Amino acid sequence: MSRTNDVTRESLLKKAEKPSKDAMKFHPFYKGKLQVMPKCPIRSSDDWAIWYTPGVAAPCKDIEANPEKVFDYTNKGNTVAVVSDGTRVLGLGDIGPEAGLPVMEGKAILFKYLGGVDAFPLCLDTKDPDELIKTVLLLQPSFGGVNLEDISQPKCFKVLDTLRQEARIPIWHDDQQGTAAVTLAGLINALKLVGKDISQIKVTMVGSGAANIAIARLLIKAGVDPKLMLLVDSKGILHRDRRDRQTIMENFHEKWKFCELTNPDCKSGGIAEAMNGADVTISLSKPGPGFIKQEWIASMARDSIVFTCANPVPEIWPWEAKEAGARIVATGRSDFPNQVNNSLGFPGIFRGTLDVRARTITDEMCIAAAEELAACAADRGMTEDHLIPTMDEWEVYPREAAAVGAKAVEQGVAGIPLAKEEIYNIAEEKIRKARKDLEVLVDAGLIPMPPE
């Protein structure tokens, strides 16, 4: 029995290591994952008089007189800037804007393939939050929305909150809002499977960075009782009487809110103490394996739910979490069951947001996306190893877009009051086209297959 387990562990570890090895071969082969292609035909050199000068002056003057016409004459309404300063890339930390560019390119192709959205990676050479804010505001004329990415805390909160107040276009921080929406979707279905009520569960959040704080905030909006929630940072469980309370109050305002909101009994200790008796543990902290111990999972409540979503390696291997007694386990990786990853959220959420020209992306729009993701899995027959859809289930994205767009219309933040069915049809058409375009290029050999 032990020999079989060793062989299984070895094969699982090899599987876990393969994506990194392939990435080192494929990235230099393609020299980047993006290119720019025209949407219009070039029938002859005469067409330049239409697409460029002198013909282009006519739509320019019409936009000047009617600014909303920019959505009719340009691609602005289908474009998103993926903006990062490279200060918190995946689980790698502050590796800089150049080193973060492969991630932003990857984000852009996910936007296109899964959501039909044209996204452009913009890695900025600054760590100053005010410069980030100013730059994004200056970019507004060219983009329909902005996806903030891999920006360290606490400045990520200031950047997002300020831009949501001041920008004319929807601003979204995927590490906060995207992660929160998809995590909520997974939790909704996990709770159905174990038969627990969201308002009654004890939740432990391992890590108090941007992602977990955003998740905690959305979970509370969705029904989790903050009095039954514990958050843990590198110095222990958050509570209002912590010795470093002054430092937290002055420098980590969002974290301090949770010191006041959660843990009314001021329970102290570390991860082990926080996980003891918990129904749910959600960890976005330090990449593992081995950061979360099996004995900590064993101390959780019966039918425990464990989301270990650090990238690129989860805090504990999922099979080890199961061995320790967790009933449902999820990670952030696509090569394991139950991938809780923002790639299931942002393409569809932005698709719906752009198609109704929403001015912002509200928490309620995120919850609508989460509920639709959960419903998609339930419709197909969810199991403990299939909590939420996978990226292969592309039909999920137009459904998600329709739910988000309809919620925007309901809340009065949409510029175009479309019906839910209309939003779905628009999204489905655009996503189908994006996927077909790529298929045609690959089949024609214009995009070669990667090396063996």
300 — pLDDT class (breaks 50, 70, 90): very high
**Catalytic residue positions?**
52, 107
162 — pLDDT class (breaks 50, 70, 90): very high
pTM of the model: 0.90
Identify the helix (H) or strand (E) that includes residue 5: helix 2-30
Is beta strand 145-148 parallel, antiparallel or unpaired with respect to 229-233? unpaired
At 183-206, the pLDDT tens digits run 999 999 999 999 999 999 999 999
Given this model, what pLDDT does residue 5 score?
A: 60
Would the pLDDT of 16 be above 80? no
Distance CA 310, CA 319 (A): 16
350 — pLDDT class (breaks 50, 70, 90): very high
Average pLDDT over residues 128-148: 97
What are the structure tokens assigned to 244, written together? 């470093």
Distance CA 285, CA 345 (A): 21
User: Which of 138-147, 333-342, 365-374, 402-411 has the lowest average pLDDT?
Assistant: 333-342
Given this model, what pLDDT does residue 1 score?
A: 41
For 123, residues 6+ apart whose C-beta sits below 8 A from its C-beta are: 83, 84, 85, 86, 97, 98, 100, 101, 104
Domains of the chain and CATH, by start: 34-174 (3.40.50.10380), 178-331 (3.40.50.720), 345-358+368-443 (no CATH)
At 63-88, the pLDDT tens digits run 999 999 999 999 999 999 999 999 98
Please check whether residue 224 is in contact with residue 201, taking contact to mean a CB–CB distance below 8 angstroms: yes
The answer, yes or no, to whether the previous bond of 97 is cis (omega within 30 of 0) is: no
Would the pLDDT of 2 be above 70? no
At 104-122, the pLDDT tens digits run 999 999 999 999 999 999 9
Residue 449, judged by CB atoms within 10 A of its CB (0-12, 13-18, 19+), counts as: exposed
What are the structure tokens assigned to 88, written together? 């918190």
CA–CA–CA angle 177, 180, 185 (5° rounding): 130
Distance CA 39, CA 75 (A): 10
7 — pLDDT class (breaks 50, 70, 90): low
Would the pLDDT of 17 be above 90? no
End-to-end Cα spacing for the chain = 35
